[in-house]
Amino acid sequence: MVRHYLILGRVQGVGFRWFVHREASELALRGWVRNTDDGAVEVVAAGPEEDLADLRRSLDRGPRGCRVDQVIEHPLAADEAASLEPFRIEGAW
């Protein structure tokens, strides 16, 4: 399964991408996380349904210091997973 998440709230500048990377890596998911220009965090993740459900619970909670107002979730086509690599942070220096 492949999911796209958009996390809204105070989610930039609080270690949210690193938190997502750690959570997704522990679940052995493939995909990426990145900041958006409008202050949100975007995630694409692929893996078993139960692992994606675990990731979703983590996204709802976030790391200490953040405030998650909303998580918008969309399923993606299964073929979207073909190009995904081990989970990474995009745009991190």
The answer to whether the CB of 60 falls within 8 A of the CB of 28 is no
The answer to whether the CB of 73 falls within 8 A of the CB of 26 is no
Nearest to 17 by CA among 41, 39, 36: 41
Q: Is 35 a catalytic residue?
A: yes
Q: Is 56 a catalytic residue?
A: no
Catalytic residue among 10, 17, 22, 61: 17
Catalytic residue among 3, 22, 34, 35: 35
The catalytic site residues sit at 17, 35
